[in-house]
A and B are shown apart, each in its own frame.
Chain A
Amino acid sequence: MSSLRPLTISIAAAAMSLSLACGGATPDGGQEAESPYAAHEVAPGEYDDYYGFSSGGHSGEVRIVGIPSMRVLKRIPVWNIDPGSGWGITNESKAMMGGKWVGDTHHVQGSYVDGTYDGKWLFVNDKANNRLARIRIDIFEVDATVEIPHTQGTHGVFPQRAPTTEWVILNSEFRTPLVNDGSGDMLDASTYGGVHTIVDAERMEVVAQVQTEVNLDLAATDYSGRYSFATSYNSEGGATISEMLASDLDYLVVFSWDNIKAALANNDYRTVDGVPILDGTEGTGLTAYIPVPKNPHGVNVSPDGNYAVVSGKVSPTASVIDITMLDDVFAGNIEPRDAVVAEPEIGLGPLHTTFDGRGNAYTSLFIDSQEVKWNIQRAIDLQANPQEGETAVVDRLDIHYQVGHTMASMAETNEADGRYLISLNKISKDRFLNVGPLKPENDQLIDISGESMVLLKDESAYIEPHDIILVRRDIIEPHVVDRVRLEEHPEAVTQSSITRDGNRVTVRLTATAPVFGLQEVEVNEGDEVTFIVTNTDEIPDLAHGFAISNYNIQMVVGPFQTKSVTFTADKPGVYWIYCTNFCHALHLEMRLRFIVRPRS
């Protein structure tokens, strides 16, 4: 460990050294060269080549972005209330939200088969309320969620990549007491720890948690289904920023799935709140702690499955860990640090690394506001045989500004194709019309098909895409449907009716343009009313809205979908229920009376 070069830099001094490259606007009307984007433009009526699946940060949502047009095609509500769909309003969505209406999505990942996406599910974390959600790709809606116990800052999330996604792992960025119920000395941070949570992807249940003494931040899995990774920037166990930056070295923590499975099979765990807790602290054999320079950030695995690249953040380096050497690390044949086969200096504030499938890595440099392209093999060769003045860096591109995540097309699969790179920039500063103190972010599209990177397009983004994956259209498109099965919802309505059980009234209502299945619904003040609404229209792209005037209820039901909502009829009077989602030439007439008779 002591052989490491001192690589820390002064972040504060460099933090705002923005590179202010100018755009190509010619306000004087002068002749302008054709935009490099022209060759990539998606003409009206044409489709994008890639589905981009982006997180939405503390907006709580997931977005579908067409690449290369950068058009936002859909916003999928996950950890937020969305009247545009009824998410957080319907009984079905409430059951999946557990009464928590805020969330913080960071990483959207796809389910895998044999190292590439299978088009079945997306997974997304909630860093704020510590949950995992699963999105069905066929309808692009959340179909399951699970709360992650014993953890805070549920940040890194990654599915098993081979042979198929049976497990999804999540990291806890914030060290906490494992049993966090107010017992013990809560101020004594030395008793805190981080857990590596394993979730069953099919059942969406916690399988087990591996407890460590360090914090566990960003996550990755290997391409063989045998290892998972977590960067740890607080190996100090500090509770203040000074304490967290005290040590020159932190870790990439590697989890051995072989050893975890053996421990589970041998009942070598304790059970807390019904969850098996495995001891993964240093020296237990479940984990390897590979020293890397202080406070690392992302960990990404190269498409050939051979290398895990840790981006340095505080250190201007990337650390290349040879995954094929991990068996020897776990066997004790070599020191953990021996698996670091290269550590090139690449620039200030490296956060995340992505790949083009041609041996090159692209790392986002937050402080330098750059994307840097470097060659992995060249870095390994230069580590073994340093040559004065030689570097693994191939190219640099200024971005605008302060890039966080970066991702190349298909880069988290063994089919990385090196066509496009997305730079998710945290700050747009002067790139767009001024919209006040809270400005959009700037997501930039970059062509990486050639030797040099070429900036193609700026696209504004609402808060806050942390990460994105770019998935080839042909992988996703065959799975996406225009309507669900009508009977998929057990309460699907084909005939409207009103039934009463005591003070509980259930209204089953069809919606077929331009009529709801009933014209009047009468209830008594104080009744608990459930509306179950099924869209029975046969044609695609015809959704019906359902709003109850003055009752704070609104939802949208897609073709053949059923959604329900329950509330107390606490306001006597006549209230119009109407279709909010334009459906027909007589859409405005598609309404019915909700009559609440006053308590006598």
Chain B
Amino acid sequence: MLQYLHDLWKRIKRPKPGLVAFPEIFEHFQELLQNHQRVMELIADLGEKSGGEYIFDRKYLADTIDEMHTRLLHMVQGLNLITSGRYLELHPTLDRIFVPLESELRGRLSLAGEMPRIVSLAEAPLDRPELTGGKANNLAVIIQNLQLPVPPGFVITTRAYRLFLDHNQLEERIHAWLESWAAGEQDERQTSRQIQYSILAGVVPQEAATEIKRQAGKGGAYWAIRSSAYGEDGELTFAGLHESLLNVPPRGVIQAYKKVLASLYSPEALVYRQKMGMLGEEAAMAVLAQEIVPSRVSGLMHTLDISAEECDCLVVYASWGLGRTVAEGRGLVDRFVVERVYPHRIRRQEIAAKKTLVRPQTGGGEEVAQVPQEEREAATLSEGQVHQLVRWALTLERYFKRPQEVEWAVDQNGQCFILQSRGLLFPKVAAPPKQDICESCAQYPVLLRDTGVVAHAGVGAGVVAQVSSDLDMNRFPEGAVLVTKYTAPWLARIVPRAAAIIAERGSAAGHLATIAREFRVPTLVGVEGATEFLKEGMQITVDTKGRIVYDGRVNELLQYELVQSLAFEDAPEFRLLRRLLSRIAPLHLIDPTAPDFNPPGCRSVHDVIRFIHEKAVEELMDLPGLVKRFKGVHIFTLVSDIPLGLKILDLGGGIAPEAAGSNLYPEQIRSAPMKALWEGLSGPGVWSTEPVPVDFKGMMSSLSKTWAETPGAATVSGFNLAVITETYMNLHLRLGYHFNLVDARIDPDPQRNHIYFRFVGGVTDLTRRSRRAQLLANILSHYHFKVDTKGDLVVAKVLHLPREDQEHRLRVLGRLIGFTRQLDIQLRSDEDIPEFVEAFFEQNTPA
């Protein structure tokens, strides 16, 4: 094809001096498109790798980022060649995005300047437990991802701890004391006393102190100040070794902070760390401050019964007042044994005679008091509260992939809160005897095997709930297995509630797969016939790691996954990948007319390539103007009954070789996307030339509107343009005042396929135009497009569909372009929308 281009360009006259040669523009544009495509693939690849089906190492990550960087440099150069250097500021933009990516890869970012010293749980970065500590990181995930109620709080990060040590010149002194202890010159009590004294005497740096006071002043009257060390609540537990201070008034938070820091060096903690061989490593402590819930009832839940009496049950322990009664085993507590399986029957409840409770003391601190006589023998929790807590505990377990120990509280109004969740520690003997997992699974009938693509690896069990419309979504039971034909974006809402997902279509790089990974829901896509084999209400177990679906609930497998196998999501490589992805994949630049659609507005790699693509296409859009300057470029005019005035520029294989002269006939189109779109557009009844009935308001608006109101309208010399190849189409179509852009590729490999559709403008007032945007969004989402609307702008895209699905959607787009041509005039009120959607579906089968 390159040869063809060269030959073509040789015939073209040299342009005026100062302008980039026309052939070069196209070469750069083509190269830019290829690089764009490749970077999109790399992004999709990284996303797929985060699903757990692949085994990768750091080298893979480094190589991928490296290639991405190189490609982007070429794209920036290409764009600047096309536009005579108008976007040179993209170079610093690239640096701004790639320097942190490369520091992440070298593991040097964690304590760098951009990391916060103090941050609220609601805003704390996820996947940075080395900054916020295990406990706070879990809470941030519970708040931000799982959206369960947690009392507000903030973290004083490990970075603040470092600054505290620096500020007080403590690091070397602590090191020296520890060394002399290790050498046997001092015992742990002396060592501990010296270190703790110097920490308590230290001064918190001014900036940090101000921020702590500000955060502490925001919330409730009292705070719980706890350690959140890295590794704590993780593989090693320091549970109980570090100090927790309850009921601290705002003015006492800084002193409490130092006390908790000092507890890192208590004699017990020192001995423990020495025993675990961790003394050599630098200890870094983050501290969590959480608002105190003046709880009426509080307690713990274990998602696995450690006493192993009933391994199919959870256990809830509860007592009156604040949490210490249960946690420290201070007295008799209520015990509820609840079945793990829906509807979570309470199998037993043992109500204890509760004599004492812990309650807040006025002025700070806490005290032990007598339980009033009438409450001693009463159950602390209602059945509804038990169920609520149990559902949350299972959600936590599903997400963290480990049996959980959950601290909770119920306030005076009866509202429940999660206070903490951590991996449950249990003696190995408590876990059932290890049997051969392969043999156990073999006893269950297999419904599906070796089909589909893994979007997120894992195991989940539940009843099948098929979802095909919004209505089904509201009925979706917590912890069910979602079975669906398509991975439509609107399913995103129920992903967090699903135990597993099976979709007949979709790809591991698609939108639903991305969401599933965010919520760690085991997901298989591309499972043909799933909705047929997996009937509503069936109990199934989905093992996406083995790509097997079992009939029934395979308890042995579920237990094995929870207890034996590694939660890959928490492996350092996966955390690193997710941190990299958060700087690469999100797309913030959607609307090209927004004021921040510029290089400084680019926040991710995806933003940059989106920006470059848009600007390059924009440049190409001015082709009508450019083409005039470069006489001799062969542009065909499409001859048809439909008055589009469409010009076609073929970059290779898009038209029949025998096409000659300046006219092209529809049957000579070879470009797959163009062909499909044209079939839709030229279909019977689509291009209605009947005058549209216009009501008064619509008509007045049409009359009074001038061309100049639509940006660029006046400068366009009245022709529409399609740039095509055999597999690609970029179509710009201005119809009246509407502006359509369709960019599509149909390749034999679905991974390369996309349809991008943009629609803007219109003749009537903004309300009506927005109404039309809503209508389009409505229709497009039925065809599984991911749609964003903003005012009268509609941006829709769909990725990675196989050929026939792509063609179907392009035909629909063709019809839709015809259908909506003058629609805003007809749409008089919001109530009209459903009627028009119906009208459209009547003529076009929804997918």
User: A and B, one complex?
Assistant: no
